[in-house]
Amino acid sequence: MTAQSLPGAFAMVDIPGPVLDAETAAHLKKYGVRSVCLFGKNIESVAQLRRLCADLREVLGEDALIALDHEGGAILRPDFWPFAPSAMDLGAADDAALTQDVSAALGCQLRSVGINWNFAPVLDVNVSPANPVIGERAYGADPATVTRHGRAALAGLAAAGVAACVKHFPGHGDTRVDSHLALPRVDKSRAELEATEFAPFRDLLPQTPAVMTAHIVYPALDDVHPATLSRRILTGLLRQEWGFDGVTVTDSMGMKAIDDHYGRGEAGVLALEAGADLVMALGRREAQEATLEAVGAALGGRLNRQEMEASLERLHALAQKYPARADTALHPQDDADLLRHAWAQGLTAYRNPVPPEPGSRITLIAHRQPVRETVSEAGADAETLARELGQVYDVNLIPFETPDEIDWPVARAAGNPVILATTARHRHPALIGVQPDLHIALYNPYAVLDVDAPALLAYGFRPEARAAVLNWLKGETGAGGILPFAAS
């Protein structure tokens, strides 16, 4: 191994807060860490984030990789930039040029502060309406749609000078278990995987700088190991059969799909043995150290020297092609109109919804205070929705904590049109068969399959999405999006 092959060269970590404190800097230097993933806890303002990235780059060195999950929709950490739409909103709009422009805008936001790696686009084909973790993060349920928009997203990020990372290889779209919480399985034949899950990943490899692995068991490929730890998948399929020569990074090894079954240190080494270049060793300091110490020990003999050298070369090439330098000439606010337009283009009518007459009295039923869940941010709260709809209607608000407490006879007693706004990440069985006059789906689009009513789908809850809904309610705009999944 080279002198640069400290264990941290093969691990990505997170840091505790919005500044790089001396203790954390010493930790990164001790192990030779070159890659950091940022989260909401690290982000306060543009100036603060730019300073943090500069401080990180000084410690991580010229091969610094500073990453963020910056997908759009619910997966956006900073709240000071215009919000980009979710992938499924773009799939509904089905305008590849628009998808490319939106991805370039996302890249511009990151590059303006010095973040050089975006963990996007999502290439999962969301064929399961019950999927608890992908949903509107996917472009749709059709491999061709996902491939078309994935190609556009890759082009947009490349044009902005930010490295993309497609995920979650080889496909997280047909799971009913969230790998943050348990270890999913996809029991499909190789032929079925080829036709659906594999298609976007395989077809877009020539434009793909990096691939993120899925913590999922695919028995048709490897009946023992999840993809993240499977040499058959990461080396046999991805490298040898498909010829991928970019970077392979694991999803977070702190997710229960891995941590509960293997433990941090051993899992990190297994991932590198399988063919990953970089292990995402996120979490508390002792968990990071468990991975770093185990990798350091394995570099002494267990890990293949030639393969580790190849990993270093791939990581070096990625960092050199996409340097982590802030471009202060970029102005993300300039893309506000583009992103508002993109949200509006995806707005989709389901079962011919008709808005109540502006100025009339309506009853609004909405979640009092949605909460943040694992990877996704919290949806809009009931008071905010009531205040905004108050620009169009005289609103009687009925907030709920959980949908099973909604008293539908009481809601209907006044005789007003009843609007149900769903703003939760997950579908809820208590909403199956309920019959408001209008359903506004502001988060999980598959909720329209449960609620027995005409619906307007916004594929997200961000202010730009809500503004598009208001314009539709006022009769100022239409809803020309095409539902990107089967309605039955």
For the annotated catalytic residues, the residue numbers are: 251
Residue 415 amino acid letter: G
CA distances (Å), origin 194, targets 216, 243, 326, 447: 16, 16, 40, 29
- Strand arrangement of the beta sheet that strand 247-252 belongs to: 163-164, 117-118, 65-68, 35-38, 11-13, 278-280, 247-252, 210-213, 166-169
Inter-residue contact 254 to 287 (CB < 8 Å): yes
Round to whole Å and give the CA distance between 93 and 348.
Answer: 9
C-alpha span between 442 and 465 (Å, rounded): 8
Give the position of tokens 């205040």. 387
Q: Is-contact 36 20, C-beta < 8 A?
A: no
Rounded Cα–Cα distance for residues 281 and 480 (Å): 43
48: exposed, middle or buried (Cβ count in 10 Å: 0-12, 13-18, 19+): middle
User: Between β-strands 117-118 and 65-68, what pairing exists: parallel, antiparallel or unpaired?
Assistant: parallel
Angstrom distance (rounded) from CA 109 to CA 113: 7
Q: Which residues face 420 on adjacent strands?
A: 365, 439
d(CA 75, CA 137): 8
CB atoms within 10 A of CB 485: 23
As a whole number of angstroms, the distance between CA 442 and CA 378 comes to: 11
Cα separation values, 10 from 223, 228, 268, 478, Å: 26, 14, 9, 50
